[in-house]
Amino acid sequence: MTLVSEPASFLQVRRAQPRAARGSVSSSAVKSRVYVAMLAFACVYAAIGGRLVLLAQMEEAPSKAWISAQDSVAASRPDLIDRNGEILATDIKTTSLYAEPRRILDVDEALEGLIRVLPDLDQNTVRRRLESGAGFVWLKREMTPHQAEQVHNLGLPGIGFLSENQRFYPGGPTAGHIVGSVNVDNQGLAGIEKYIDDAWLAELQSLGFASDRTIEPVRLSVDLRVQHVVRDELVKAMDRYRAIAAAGIVLDAKTGEVVAMSSLPDYDPNDRSQALEKDRLNRATGGVFEMGSVFKAFTVAMALDSGAVSINDSFDATRPIRAAGRTITDFHGKNRILSVPEIFIYSSNIGTAKMMLATGISRQQEFFKRLHLTERLKTELPENAAPLLPPKWNELAAMTISFGHGISVTPMQTAVAAAAVVNGGKLYPPTFLPRSQEEVQTVAKQVISPDVSRMMRYLFRLNVLSGSGRRADVPGYTVGGKTGTAEKIENGRYINNKRRNSFLSAFPMDDPRYVVLVVLDEPKSEREGIGATAGLNAAPTVGAIIRRSAPMLGVMPRFGKGDEPIEISY
């Protein structure tokens, strides 16, 4: 038994040894494979992590073009409001489409989708931008919400949106020439919009203080209600008298504040393309014209203020005046000696020219300069035209200037000078911003004597009661004014069938609060058999403006006995 058991134990021992050896080798191999797998996974995760870091860095460091675009669209503008707080211009949020061409995977796919949603895009231009390899390009500014949603649903890589500020003008064209307009980057191009940019907003934006923050509104001196009345009456007048253009101004005679100003044809600042049309220029401050007989008011005031002429004087208007080969006549001559009031209400060219000669050319030049009629009149609006003066201010030029020919000024200059003539003799530079009483006293300049101003108020009122301005009268408001009918010049010659008519007025004439000026370009007869002079079209237009706007301005009507309008005397 012993002999048999020994070999068995020996065999068991020998068989056991190879198993132990094989088990030891298998454990090492497993560990090696585990280490290799771990290393492989580590490399994969490192690669993924590195890619994520790279992508994160790309997101955190956008291109300079993208940053610039984001800054420009984020810049805010202040609301523009009228004197009563009504909004004239404000910012609204809109969406714009951009592309990052470097991230676009398939240009053809992107182009096809964009053109399908936005058919107004130019296909060649879009393709060129998408293939440019640039970091940032604009594709479409100021999209509608529906368009933005459609593009978003395309899911195109490299195509994105930016929310930007878009200027909105609730009143449309009502005060278009006053508020002006902005470009697609919300930068002022005209009107008050450009003024505030040049004055302070552009600098504020460059310093980063106008991005996504509320800026205090800019209050204007304009009354939106009166502005609507002026524009509405001008539209009606252009239609009734078939005029090609018109302008109207309401000016505060005691402060120089512009309460309303309209020029037709105008434009809607919400549609920038309209502002580029040449017929839509601002005629009230940006156009110069011969104003015709309204200038007789300035000549009479000059003559009276000089002391060379008194209101009781008379001048011979029986015959035309010959000067330098030219003949000066009256439109409806009385062919007799006329007093100063008669010269004014009958609008005598002969009498006015003789009053100027009695005063002198040098005095005329000095007086017109005093009224700012011979130099550019500055306002907050950038559209301010310089007057056109005669190349030689000789005797003939002086005589024609005395009744409004040979010198071209803006309607705003005419209104400002008229305010000084009737308000007691103080000239106030015009402004589209509210003026405090302290500022009013600071800017006021006495240009004629209060006594002469009082006499001019009498003449203005007399012309409405008994002269060419009768159709401008509004019961209870003692309106005064002067008509002007100026022939237009074509090819260097005056054309008698093309006129620019105007009516310069103020109310109430016993203590003028407001000056109203209306200019109609080439008005026609309202009906067959009547004329087309200023007394028949510009004067009633002014009357309609005063009738509607005076209650809004707080001017109460006043009546004397028997409800007759109160008259004034000199």
Return d(Cα 428, Cα 256) in angstroms, integer.
5
Sheet strands (E) in 253-313: 258-264
Return d(Cα 309, Cα 338) in angstroms, integer.
13
Q: Is 137 exposed, middle or buried (0-12, 13-18, 19+ CB in 10 A)?
A: middle
Return d(Cα 67, Cα 72) in angstroms, integer.
9
Q: Could you count the other beta carbons within 10 Å of the beta carbon of residue 145?
A: 9
Determine the length of the chain.
570
**The one catalytic residue among 76, 181, 262, 293:** 293
Return d(Cα 417, Cα 504) in angstroms, integer.
11
Return d(Cα 533, Cα 518) in angstroms, integer.
13
DSSP states along 81-141: E-TTS-EEEEEEEEEEEEE-GGG-S-HHHHHHHHHHH-TTS-HHHHHHHHTS--S-EEEEE
Q: Could you count the other beta carbons within 10 Å of the beta carbon of residue 465?
A: 16
Instruction: Write down the residue that tokens 């008994």 correspond to.
Output: 466
Note if 502 is an active site residue: no
C-alpha pair distances (Å), 533 with each of 468, 506, 520, 559? 9, 20, 10, 30
The contacts of residue 342 (CB under 8 Å, 6+ apart) are 334, 348, 351
Helices 224-241 and 538-549 pack at an angle, to 10 degrees, of 150
Range 421-441 burial, b when 16+ CB lie within 10 A, else e:
bbbbbbbbebbbbebeeeebe
Instruction: Write down the residue that tokens 């552009």 correspond to.
Output: 202
Return d(Cα 157, Cα 248) in angstroms, integer.
55
Closest CA relative to residue 422, chosen from 444, 450, 445: 450
C-alpha pair distances (Å), 369 with each of 36, 216, 253, 360, 447? 98, 38, 19, 14, 10
Look at the alpha carbons of 108, 109, 111, 116 in this order and tell me if their dihedral is positive or negative. positive
SS3 for 495?
A: strand
Residues taking part in catalysis = 293
